[in-house]
A and B are shown apart, each in its own frame.
Chain A
Amino acid sequence: MFGRRSPSEKSGGLRRNTLGNFIIRRIAIGIILMLGITFISFSVTQLVPGDPAALNLGQSAMSDPTIVAAWRAKYGLDKPVPEQYFIYLNHLIHGDLGLSQQSRRPVSTDLAEYFPATLELATVAIFFSLIFGLLFGIIAAVTRNRWPDQVIRFVTLTGVSVPTFWLSLVFFYLFYFKLSWFPSNGRLDPGVDSPSTITGMYTVDAVLHGQFALAWQALRHIMLPAIVLAIYTIAVLTRFTRASILEILNNDYVRAARAKGLPESLVIRRHVLRPALLSIVTIAGVAFGNLLAGSVLVENVFSWPGIGQYAYRSSIGLDLPGIMGVSIVVAGIFITMNLLVDIAYRFIDPSLRHG
Chain B
Amino acid sequence: MALLEVNNLSVQLQTKTGFATAVDRLSFTLDTGEILGIAGESGSGKTMSALTLLGLLPQHAKVTGSAKFDGQELVGMTNKQWQQIRGKNIAMVFQDPMTSLHPMLSIKTQMTEHMITHLGITEKQALVDAEELLIDVRIPDPKKALSSYASQFSGGMRQRICIAMALACKPKLLLADEPSTALDVTVQAGILTLLNRLREEHHLSIIFITHDLGVLSSITDKLLVLYAGREVESGLTSTILQHPRHPYTQGLLDSLPQPDSKEKLLKSIAGFPPELGKQPIGCAFAERCKFAEPRCTGHEVQPTFAADDHKFYCAVDPFAFTESREVGA
Contact = CB atoms under 8 A, between A and B. Distances in A.
A274 B104 contact: yes
B117 A274 contact: no
Nearest to A354: B149
Interface string A243-276: 0000000011101111111111010001100110
Contacts of B246: none
B86 A253 contact: no
A274 B83 contact: no
Nearest to B175: A259
Most buried by B among A258, A263, A270, A348: A258
B117 A271 contact: no
B86 A260 contact: yes
Contact of B85 (A10, A253, A261, A275): A261
A257 B102 contact: yes
B86 A351 contact: no
B113 interface: yes
A244 to B, nearest CB: 14
A83 interface: no
Given A261-B84, A261-B88, A255 B152 contact: no
A251 B102 CA distance: 9
Chain A, interface SS category: helix
B86 A270 contact: no
Interface stretch (B90-98, B255-263, B290-298): B90-98
A349 interface: yes
Nearest to A264: B79
Interface string A327-355: 00000000000000000000011110010
Interface in B129-177: 148-152, 162, 165, 169
Interface string A14-57: 00000000000000000000000000000000000000000000
A349 B105 CA distance: 8
Contacts of A349: 103-104
Contacts of A270: 105, 109, 113
Contacts of A259: 54, 56, 86-87, 91-92, 94
7 contacts: A253-B100, A255-B94, A256-B102, A260-B114, A261-B86, A270-B109, A270-B113
Interface of B: 54, 56, 79, 82-88, 91-92, 94, 96, 99-106, 109, 113-114, 117-118, 148-152, 162, 165, 169
Given A253-B100, A256-B101, A261-B88, 13 more contacts: A253-B103, A255-B94, A255-B100, A256-B94, A256-B102, A259-B54, A260-B113, A260-B114, A261-B84, A262-B87, A266-B113, A350-B149, A351-B151
